[in-house]
Amino acid sequence: MVPGKLWGGLVVLFFAGALTGIAGATLYHQYEQEHQWERGPAAKQERIMKRLTHELALTPAQQADIEPIISRTHVEILQLRFSHQPQVEQALTQGMAEIKTKLSAKQLEELDELYAKLQRRWQVSRDYLQTTQERLKLMK
């Protein structure tokens, strides 16, 4: 075999592997973003702890000290979010009413499904907030 063809084949193989890796990573991150809400708000808190543990090289003792702070802060942020929820829902309802005048019957059904999914997400977050608040009260 000619050395030039061998090196050319290796270069092509390298770039094919690199492109496959890039495509795989992109698809993975896109999938994660689209489906992260399905795991609920507890998963967000877990991701925060994992990231802090990794980025700051937290010891197990530090993790144990920091986890309740992260939990409490997460609950406070959710409380703020839900205190403004009526305004958010009013704006969303008004916007959806305007959008619905522009859609076909099939699109209306799909929009209603999207809104139902959003409502389920909000309910999961409300449930999480309530149980976490109760858990934090017990810890005090």
DSSP 84-119: THHHHHHHHHHHHHHHHTTS-HHHHHHHHHHHHHHH
Instruction: Give percent of the chain above pLDDT 70.
Output: 94
Residue 134 has pLDDT above 90, yes or no: no
Residue 39 has pLDDT above 70, yes or no: no
Residue whose entry in the numeric block shows the structure tokens 């809400």: 37
- List, for residues 53-76, the tens digit of each pLDDT value: 999 999 999 999 999 898 889 888
Residue 102 has pLDDT above 80, yes or no: yes
Residue 140 has pLDDT above 90, yes or no: no
Residue 61 CA to residue 139 CA, distance in Å, equals 18
Cβ proximity of 71 and 64 under 8 Å:
no
Predicted confidence at residue 104, as pLDDT, reads 93
Predicted confidence at residue 30, as pLDDT, reads 84
Predicted confidence at residue 1, as pLDDT, reads 60
What integer best gives the mean pLDDT of the chain? 87
Q: One-letter amino acid identity for 28?
A: Y
Q: How confident is the model at residue 2 (pLDDT cuts 50, 70, 90)?
A: confident
Residue 36 has pLDDT above 70, yes or no: no
| Averaged pLDDT for residues 16-24 | 92
Cβ proximity of 96 and 115 under 8 Å:
yes
Sign (positive or negative) of CA dihedral 122, 123, 125, 126: positive
Residue 95 has pLDDT above 70, yes or no: yes
Predicted confidence at residue 129, as pLDDT, reads 85
